[in-house]
Amino acid sequence: MVSSHHAAAFDGPYDDTSWAALDLADPAAFVENDPYAYWDRMRRSEPVRRHPPVGGRPGFWAVARHRDVQDCYKDAARLGSARGTVLDVLLRGTDSAGGRMLAVTDRPRHRELRRVMLRAFSPRVLRYVEEAVRQRADALVAAVVGAGEADAARDIAEHLPLNTVCDLLELPAADRPSLLEWNKRALSSESAQDDPFDALEARNEILSYFVDVVRERRRRPGEDVISMIAGARVQGETMTEDDLALNCYSLILGGDESTRVTTIGALHALGVHEEQWRRLRTGEAAVHTAVEEVLRWVTPAMHFARTATVDLRIGDAEVAAGDIVTLWNISANNDPEVFEEPRRFDVGRQHNPHLALGHGPHFCLGAFLGRLELSAVLESLVRRVDRIEVLAEPPRVYSNFLFGHSALRLRLD
Ligand code: HEM
């Protein structure tokens, strides 16, 4: 049995100097240190903090309280996304997809593009996807039950997100193995040793694949989502093939890692909190509240970032136009002003306004799909599994953006 508290694996509480010295831009920051103790300390001492410039990089603001993070998400007019929404990107320059890919676009273009992209989530499309997701999740869980040691990542979590987006975009089964392979390479920059050029090359493979698909569906439009989006107008013009490809890819980008680590996190949390698993399994707590609690508990996207478009006040801080502002979901989701006993994993938690999927105009476009994938896995577990046994402390993802585990050895009986 493995300890149920993340904190147990980390160093103890921060003293005054170690707290202020932690470099939030360092991917190792929260692999080596306890994030929950850090953010507790920060919310109490300096809830909107100016992070100093380090090693030639610009400084930036870090926002920790639930209330402030939520207000910032809503304030898209003064806190823009077009320069980029991930700290690492903003510290190095600007996002090359800015103004073209939905997540990194500001209004008025964002609003129109979002309306078009929402066509991918029409009831007709979702009905078809929903059934496929349930069947796939159930088959994956069924194959692991009673089969001895398994890896939650390799045997379950990895197969759901990309296939779901492929279903959504009606991509042929024959193309999926290459997409999966490219996508793995494109994301591998998460570990310290990986080659960034290989990742870039893989990303270009995916983009040119989507350019081909877009061309084909423009030539012979069907009833599918890509054909619908390809014919739509944004600010009076149809989108270029490159922009269409980029936005198709963004559905993979947005959904893959976040859903994968949340699924792994769900299995881990239910494995180590036996009482919570019992409540879920016996129906004492509902799958939908468990899904929300898993999202809060894991908070796979630790932060999202914005750039101030004008001078503004956040809490007590004076933020200047052009400043980078980071919104720490992981802190907001553990704010005791909003969540009772935040470090208690409670599958029946009733008041749970977590920000794991963001908030406001950029609220996760794939929220329905992400929740669907998670509930499909939980429903299947409830149906088929008595005991979830975690066999080893899982390895952490090396990132200051993504929080979670990259693998998880377990046994389902
Ligand atoms: C936006 C989290 C699943 C596609 C976001 C945002 C968050 C988030 C926090 C807001 C970003 C911001 O404000 O800058 C998550 C989590 C997921 C998940 C935790 C799963 C557990 C998905 C899936 C898809 C997806 C399955 C695609 C099918 C997107 C897109 C946006 C977005 C396209 C940009 C929306 C916009 O800017 O208008 N997601 N997401 N996400 N997500 Fe998700």
In a domain, 80, yes or no: yes
> Domain with 276 in it: what CATH number?
1.10.630.10
Ligand 1 touching residue 165 (CB < 6 A): yes
Structure tokens at 256: 């893959």
pLDDT in tens, 140-154: 999 999 999 999 999
In a domain, 398, yes or no: no
Same domain, residue pair 381 and 243: yes
Does the model's ipTM exceed the 0.95 cut? yes
Same domain, residue pair 115 and 206: yes
Nearest 5°: the CA angle 48, 258, 95 is: 65
Nearest 5°: the CA angle 143, 148, 151 is: 70
In a domain, 165, yes or no: yes
Q: Which of 249, 365, 372 to mutate to test the pocket of ligand 1 (most atoms within 8 A of CB)?
A: 365
Same domain, residue pair 191 and 273: yes
Ligand 1 touching residue 385 (CB < 6 A): no
Is the confidence at residue 324, as pLDDT, over 80? yes
**For residue 144, which amino acid is it?**
V
pLDDT in tens, 338-390: 999 999 999 999 999 999 999 999 999 999 999 999 999 999 999 999 999 99
Ligand 1 touching residue 258 (CB < 6 A): yes
In a domain, 100, yes or no: no
Same domain, residue pair 112 and 37: no
Same domain, residue pair 171 and 238: yes
Distance CA 66, CA 254 (A): 23
* Residue nearest atom 12 in ligand 1 by C-alpha distance: 362
Q: Please give the residue range of the domain that contains residue 208.
A: 107-287+365-388
Distance CA 294, CA 286 (A): 12
> Domain with 41 in it: what CATH number?
3.30.43.20
Ligand 1 touching residue 299 (CB < 6 A): no
Q: Which of 328, 364, 369 to mutate to test the pocket of ligand 1 (most atoms within 8 A of CB)?
A: 364
* Percentage of the chain modeled with pLDDT above 90: 77
Strands 317-319 and 233-234: unpaired
How sure is the predictor about 13, in pLDDT bands with cuts at 50, 70 and 90?
low
pLDDT in tens, 219-248: 999 888 899 899 999 999 999 999 999 999
Q: Domain total for the chain?
A: 2
Q: Which ligand 1 atom lies nearest to the CA of residue 73?
A: 13
- Ligand 1 center from residue 252 Cα (angstroms): 10
- Ligand 1 center from residue 365 Cα (angstroms): 5
Neighbours of 205 (CB within 10 A): 17
- Ligand 1 center from residue 332 Cα (angstroms): 17
Same domain, residue pair 380 and 263: yes
- Omega within 30 of 0 (cis) for the link into 108: yes
In a domain, 394, yes or no: no
Nearest 5°: the CA angle 292, 297, 303 is: 100
In a domain, 296, yes or no: no
Strands 324-328 and 60-63: parallel
Same domain, residue pair 81 and 153: no
Same domain, residue pair 44 and 91: yes
Q: In angstroms, how far is the first alpha carbon of the chain from the final one? A: 15
- Ligand 1 center from residue 76 Cα (angstroms): 16
- Ligand 1 center from residue 13 Cα (angstroms): 32
**For residue 413, which amino acid is it?**
D
Q: Where are the alpha helices (DSSP H) in 220-349?
A: 225-231, 241-272, 274-281, 287-298, 329-332
Same domain, residue pair 262 and 380: yes
Smallest CA-to-CA distance from 288 within 382, 355, 365 is with 382
Neighbours of 65 (CB within 10 A): 22
How sure is the predictor about 334, in pLDDT bands with cuts at 50, 70 and 90?
very high
In a domain, 405, yes or no: no
Q: What is the pTM of this model?
A: 0.94
* Residue nearest atom 1 in ligand 1 by C-alpha distance: 364
In a domain, 295, yes or no: no
Mean pLDDT for the stretch of residues 305-314: 98
